[in-house]
Amino acid sequence: MRSQPKIELADCCLEQSKLHLIGDWTIESLSTSVIARVEAKIKHLALNDITGIDCARIYRLDTAGVLLLSKISAQVSDQTKKMELIGLNETHRNLMNNIAYLKQNIPPSRQVTQSAGQLAMLINQAGYQIFQLFGQSLNLLGFLGYVTTRLTRLFIRPLSLRWTSLISHLDRSGIQALPIVGLLSFLIGIVLSFQGVDQLTQFGAEIFTVNLVALSMTREMGVLITAILIAGRSGSSFTAEIGAMKINEEVDAIRTLGLNPIDVLVVPRILALIIVLPLLTFFANFMGIMGGGLMLWVILDIEPGQYVNLVQQAVSTTGFWLGIIKAPVFAFFIGLVSCFHGMRVRGSTEEVGLNTTRAVVESIFYVIMLDAVFSVIFSILKV
If residue 55 lies in a helix (H) or strand (E), which one and from where to where?
strand 52-61
Rg (CA), the chain: 38
State which fold the 6-105 domain adopts.
Transcription Regulator spoIIAA (3.30.750)
Tens digits of residue pLDDT in 189-208: 999 999 999 888 888 888 89
Using CA atoms of 186, 188, 190, 194 in order, give the dihedral in degrees to the nearest 10. Answer: -170
pLDDT along the chain (383 residues), means of 10: 47 51 77 73 64 77 79 66 72 78 59 61 82 84 90 85 91 93 95 91 88 92 94 93 91 90 92 95 95 91 90 89 93 94 85 91 94 92 84
Distance CA(380)–CA(189), nearest Å, equals 28
Q: Decide the pairing of beta strands 6-9 and 18-25.
A: antiparallel
Using CA atoms of 150, 151, 154, 156 in order, give the dihedral in degrees to the nearest 10. Answer: -80
- Tell me what pLDDT residue 127 has: 83
For the entire predicted model, the pTM comes to 0.67
Distance CA(310)–CA(210), nearest Å, equals 7
- How far apart, in Å, are the Cα atoms of 73 and each of 67, 70, 102? 10, 5, 18
